[in-house]
């Protein structure tokens, strides 16, 4: 009887919706939502996620949303050891959804620094190694800066906190007044809420089990692959899946669990766009331009020179990236303006429309409770405004000291513009889940590099200004996403803000250390190496474009760049027109993403093939059981990503220690193999 009553009680709780399911659960004050165990867990997971983001940055630069993965892993880790503590009677505070939200916020803030820090883009682009690769008029001492941890720590601490204070005063307007969706934040909140219900806890247990299995499998498979990679172009990562000719053109499957997992998280069209971009560039465009060697560009140039074939690869990719960025900036600013006008009109109009919902009383109750807790712990306006001003002043002094090419008035202009862009990015992210931080950063490069000029260090000034702009705009939208998650899980705005500050501080320490770990162990930025870091040269190319103008481009590169710039804009226009006007067949789903078309122009198609295999796995899974795929795909993908990414730690340690794999598994054509065999036979005689 007791078991039947308990089962009926659990079933009854499962039927409850929204906040009704948590009526019996006490919401702790904000000071108890941030606990020692949540901070320790956040720090450990921040290291893991920084390794993941750093590896993704240094390989392809394609980084999926990690909010859901952070929420899932945070639950898995803390639930595991709170269960142990409870068994031995040492558990004093229950594990709540608010604490889960704090962990997720802290981890995402820390890993967000790994992206906005620019260690694989604008900071790497300052290094003499990347400058020497590209050549050009910007390859001078005043336009390069040797990387070291000291100034990287100082720069990140100087710029990373300002954006948090720029958006805090607008949280009530964004969340309560405009009711912006923030899809990633909302999805994470629903996931966390489900974990802390009886039915959700059962599902979470299965998800955690699958995550652990896929993590171990991915880690062990990466270890297995290491034994066969004694030198460059050895091992499974150089497997000529489609033949040696295709391999030379970067078309092969490199057995990367990370990118199979990323492919399972990214939308289908993203992965297909990457593959199409690789086919267009490496399958057709680059072989055609290579035939112009000695006609369009000198035959004596190095392969890495921006005045040769590499210049076409970099600047045509830049043109597409800028075209996509300009379109989205204009589109988002227009959409933000129209949405604000509509909100203002609705405010003046009389609200006479009734809500048609299956359970309006439940929705009203949810909104009432969530609004009450969201307004409970206020962050005073004067704290936000004075914090922004003080931190901006400190940042102006520090950044102008670190980068003498960037004067105090340049940084002041950036900080005067940044709050407006931070608002636009946060608002647009709430509507579309699309952050344009990197696009605003690229525009800042062009403006400030041209303003300073090549003779006064315009290349470095442009790259540094990109860091200032990206840090503000990116952290502002991340914080607003987390406010939305906190609103839906009843986490206090203060706990959200302080966990974001804590996560940002962790990121400012962890990110440079993780990057330095890879930087010392591998040849970062080598186009043919394990970590090509494509955006280092791309961002430097944008800065060179700003200081030198179009005169730095090789012959006919400008014409091709203009074509691809407007092609990117046209693709976006077609996509948005179809999405708006053609709703029957939803053809817009099949229009490729312009930004993703451009990424393989520099790297090739190997990672796109990995990601498409991830999409294929997900597609087959959904065809067989759509609900199971929805429930378990994030767990499986997260395990695949984490396992191989964390293998990077022991692999880098082995590289630093000078230990090499015992076997080189290499693939040769039959004629080459015959010559090698003949050489070996001659040596034995």
- Exposure of 314 by Cβ count < 10 A (0-12 exposed, 13-18 middle, 19+ buried)? buried
**Which tens digit of pLDDT belongs to each residue from 446-484?**
999 999 998 999 999 999 999 999 999 999 889 999 999
How many of the other CB atoms lie within 10 Å of CB of 272? 18
CA 607 to chain centre: 16
- Is 60 exceeded by the pLDDT of residue 425? yes
User: 225-229, long-range: CB within 8 Å, 24+ apart, which pairs?
Assistant: 225/255, 226/647, 226/651, 226/654, 226/661, 227/661, 227/662, 227/663, 228/661, 228/663, 228/664, 228/665, 229/661, 229/664, 229/665
CA dist., res. 386 & res. 391, Å (int): 8
Instruction: Show the DSSP H helices in 522-556 as ranges.
Output: 534-548
Based on its alpha-carbon atoms, the radius of gyration of the chain, rounded to whole angstroms, reads 26
Among 14-23, 282-291, 315-324, 670-679, whose mean pLDDT is lowest? Answer: 14-23
Q: Is 229 helix (H, G, I), strand (E, B) or coil?
A: strand
Contacts of 275 (CB under 8 A, 6+ apart): 600, 605, 608, 609, 612
pLDDT band at 672 (very low <50, low <70, confident <90, very high): confident
* pLDDT computed for residue 16 by the predictor: 56
What are the φ and ψ backbone dihedral angles of 299, each rounded to 5 degrees?
-75, -10
Higher pLDDT, 180 or 399: 399
Of 214, 113, 132, 87, nearest in space to 471 by CA: 113
CA dist., res. 309 & res. 301, Å (int): 9
Among 548-552, 596-600, 610-614, 652-656, whose mean pLDDT is lowest? Answer: 548-552
Question: What is the secondary structure of 606-667 as a DSSP string?
Answer: HHHHHHHHHHHHHHHHHHH-HHHHHHHHHHHHHHHHHHHHHHHHHHHHHHHTT---S-B---
As given in the structure block, the two tokens for residue 100 are 């889960």
Look up tokens 């682009």; give the residue. 125
- Is 70 exceeded by the pLDDT of residue 373? yes
Higher pLDDT, 356 or 372: 372
**Which tens digit of pLDDT belongs to each residue from 498-544?**
999 999 999 999 999 999 999 998 889 888 788 888 899 889 989 98
* pLDDT computed for residue 46 by the predictor: 95
Of 140, 221, 183, 254, nearest in space to 543 by CA: 140
pLDDT band at 4 (very low <50, low <70, confident <90, very high): very low
Question: What is the secondary structure of 342-366 as a DSSP string?
Answer: HHHHHHHS---PPP--S-HHHHHHH
* pLDDT computed for residue 618 by the predictor: 94
- Is 80 exceeded by the pLDDT of residue 377? yes
As given in the structure block, the two tokens for residue 158 are 């100087």
* pLDDT computed for residue 427 by the predictor: 85
Question: What is the secondary structure of 67-104 as a DSSP string?
Answer: HHHHHHHHHHHHHHHHHHHHHTT---S---HHHHHHHH
Mean pLDDT comparison of 158-162, 342-346, 669-673, 679-683, highest-scoring range: 158-162
Task: For residue 475, give Cα distances in angstroms to 264, 384, 420, 435, 463.
Answer: 26, 14, 14, 10, 18
Contact in structure between 671 and 678 (CB atoms under 8 Å): no
As given in the structure block, the two tokens for residue 245 are 């000719």
- Is 50 exceeded by the pLDDT of residue 367? yes
CA dist., res. 572 & res. 273, Å (int): 13
pLDDT band at 276 (very low <50, low <70, confident <90, very high): very high
Average pLDDT of the residues in 109-118: 93
Contact in structure between 518 and 124 (CB atoms under 8 Å): no
Contacts of 337 (CB under 8 A, 6+ apart): none
- Is 70 exceeded by the pLDDT of residue 636? yes
List the domain boundaries for the chain. 25-341+392-680
Contacts of 202 (CB under 8 A, 6+ apart): none
CA dist., res. 459 & res. 487, Å (int): 42
pLDDT band at 143 (very low <50, low <70, confident <90, very high): very high
CA dist., res. 50 & res. 59, Å (int): 14
Mean pLDDT comparison of 341-345, 349-353, 380-384, 390-394, highest-scoring range: 390-394
- Cross-strand pairs, 229: 664
Task: For residue 635, give Cα distances in angstroms to 73, 160, 242, 262.
Answer: 9, 30, 31, 12
Look up tokens 């048609």; give the residue. 356
How many of the other CB atoms lie within 10 Å of CB of 358? 7
Mean residue pLDDT across the chain: 86
Average pLDDT of the residues in 87-112: 89
Handedness of CA 268, 250, 120, 327 (dihedral sign): negative
Of 467, 166, 430, 442, nearest in space to 329 by CA: 442
Higher pLDDT, 226 or 201: 226
* pLDDT computed for residue 354 by the predictor: 40
* pLDDT computed for residue 119 by the predictor: 94
As given in the structure block, the two tokens for residue 664 are 């080189």
The share of the chain scoring above pLDDT 70, in percent, equals 93
* pLDDT computed for residue 10 by the predictor: 41
CA dist., res. 231 & res. 8, Å (int): 62
- Exposure of 671 by Cβ count < 10 A (0-12 exposed, 13-18 middle, 19+ buried)? exposed
Average pLDDT of the residues in 38-43: 94
Look up tokens 């309006």; give the residue. 360
How many of the other CB atoms lie within 10 Å of CB of 260? 25
Look up tokens 């941030």; give the residue. 34
Contact in structure between 603 and 534 (CB atoms under 8 Å): yes
What region, left, alpha or beta, does residue 110 occupy, with left being phi > 0 and alpha being psi -120 to 50 degrees? alpha
Contact in structure between 469 and 220 (CB atoms under 8 Å): no
| Element housing 434 (H / E) | none
Average pLDDT of the residues in 331-349: 75
* pLDDT computed for residue 552 by the predictor: 73
Question: What is the secondary structure of 262-322 as a DSSP string?
Answer: HHHHS-HHHHHHHHHHHHHIIIIIHHHHHTTBTTTB-TTS-TT-TTTHHHHHHHHHHHHHH
As given in the structure block, the two tokens for residue 348 are 């003046």
Contacts of 46 (CB under 8 A, 6+ apart): 106, 107, 110, 111, 503, 506, 507, 510
């Amino acid at each position: 009887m007791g078991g039947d009553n308990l089962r009926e009680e659990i079933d009854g709780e499962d039927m409850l919706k929204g906040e009704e399911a948590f009526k019996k659960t006490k919401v702790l004050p904000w000071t108890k939502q941030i606990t020692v165990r949540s901070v320790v867990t956040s720090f450990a997971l921040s290291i893991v996620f920084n390794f993941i983001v750093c590896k993704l940055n240094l390989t392809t630069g394609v980084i999926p949303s990690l909010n859901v993965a952070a929420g899932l892993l945070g639950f898995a880790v803390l639930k595991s050891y709170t269960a142990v503590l409870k068994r031995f009677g040492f558990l004093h505070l229950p594990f709540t959804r608010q604490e889960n939200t704090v962990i997720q916020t802290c981890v995402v803030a820390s890993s967000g620094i790994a992206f906005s820090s620019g260690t694989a883009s604008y900071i790497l682009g300052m290094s003499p190694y990347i400058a020497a690769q590209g050549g050009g008029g910007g390859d001078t001492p005043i336009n390069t800066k040797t990387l070291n941890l000291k100034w990287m720590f100082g720069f990140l601490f100087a710029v990373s906190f300002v954006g948090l204070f720029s958006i805090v005063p607008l949280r009530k307007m964004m969340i309560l007044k405009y009711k912006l969706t923030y899809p990633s934040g909302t999805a994470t909140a629903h996931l966390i809420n489900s974990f802390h219900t009886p039915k959700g806890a059962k599902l979470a247990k299965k998800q955690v089990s699958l995550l652990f299995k896929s993590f171990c499998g991915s880690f062990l498979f990466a270890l297995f692959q290491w034994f066969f990679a004694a030198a460059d172009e050895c091992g499974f990562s150089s497997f000529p899946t489609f033949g040696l000719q295709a391999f030379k053109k970067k078309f092969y499957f490199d057995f990367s669990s990370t990118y199979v997992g990323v492919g399972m998280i990214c939308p289908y069209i993203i992965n297909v766009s990457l593959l199409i971009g690789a086919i267009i560039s490496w399958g057709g465009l680059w072989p055609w331009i290579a035939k112009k060697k000695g006609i369009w560009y000198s035959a004596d140039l190095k392969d890495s020179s921006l005045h040769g074939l590499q210049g076409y690869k970099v600047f045509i990719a830049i043109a597409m990236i800028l075209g996509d960025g300009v379109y989205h900036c204009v589109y988002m600013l227009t959409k933000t303006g129209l949405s604000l006008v509509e909100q203002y009109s609705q405010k003046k109009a009389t609200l006479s429309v009734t809500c048609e919902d299956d359970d309006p009383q439940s929705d009203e109750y949810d909104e009432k409770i969530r609004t009450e807790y969201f307004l409970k712990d206020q962050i005073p306006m004067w704290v936000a405004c004075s914090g922004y001003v003080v931190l901006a002043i400190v940042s102006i002094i520090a950044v102008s000291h670190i980068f003498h090419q960037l004067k105090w008035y340049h940084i002041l202009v950036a900080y005067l513009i940044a709050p407006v862009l931070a608002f636009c990015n946060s608002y647009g992210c709430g509507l579309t889940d699309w952050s344009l931080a990197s696009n605003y950063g690229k525009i800042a490069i062009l403006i400030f590099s041209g303003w300073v000029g090549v003779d006064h260090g315009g290349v470095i000034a442009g790259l540094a200004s990109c860091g200032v702009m990206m840090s503000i705009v990116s952290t502002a939208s991340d914080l607003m996403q987390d406010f939305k998650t906190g609103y839906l899980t009843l986490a206090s705005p203060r706990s959200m803000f302080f966990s974001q500050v804590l996560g940002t501080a962790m990121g400012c320490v962890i990110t440079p250390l993780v990057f330095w770990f890879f930087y010392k162990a591998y040849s970062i930025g080598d186009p043919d190496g394990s970590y090509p870091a494509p955006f280092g040269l791309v961002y430097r190319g944008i800065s060179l474009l700003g200081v030198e103008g179009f005169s730095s481009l090789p012959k006919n590169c400008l014409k091709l760049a203009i074509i691809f710039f407007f092609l990117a804009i046209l693709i976006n226009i077609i996509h948005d027109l179809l999405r708006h006007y053609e709703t029957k067949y939803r053809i817009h789903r099949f229009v490729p993403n312009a930004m993703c078309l451009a990424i393989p122009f520099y790297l090739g198609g190997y990672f796109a093939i990995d990601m498409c295999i991830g999409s294929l796995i997900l597609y087959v899974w959904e065809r067989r059981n759509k609900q199971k795929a929805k429930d378990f795909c994030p767990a499986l993908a997260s395990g695949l990503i984490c396992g191989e990414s964390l293998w990077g730690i022991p692999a880098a340690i082995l590289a630093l220690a000078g230990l090499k794999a015992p076997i080189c598994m290499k693939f040769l054509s039959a004629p080459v193999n015959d010559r090698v065999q003949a050489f070996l036979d001659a040596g034995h005689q």
